[in-house]
Amino acid sequence: MEPWLLEILVCPRCKGDLVHESEPEALVCESCRLRYEVRDGVPILLIDEAKPL
């Protein structure tokens, strides 16, 4: 994932900050308790496809 992108993206649901996780790469919203997958460097920021923490 492009480094500059990490600093920009927010949770599509609550628009709050996302935490970047690695191995496997993911973006986590602590307040929504959702984990968004990153596949081959592409963040999948679809609320319906996020996994509950």
Q: Is 23 in the site for another protein (CB under 8 A)?
A: no
Residue number with CB closer to another protein (3 or 23): 3
Q: Which tokens sit at 16?
A: 């709050």
Q: What is the DSSP letter of 18?
A: -
Helix (H) or strand (E) holding 51: strand 51-52
Q: Is 24 in the site for another protein (CB under 8 A)?
A: no
Question: Contacts with another protein in 28-47 (CB under 8 A)?
Answer: 39-40, 42-47
User: Hey, how many other C-beta atoms are within 10 angstroms of the C-beta on 42?
Assistant: 10
Binding residues for another protein (CB under 8 A): 1-2, 4-5, 8-13, 15, 39-40, 42-47
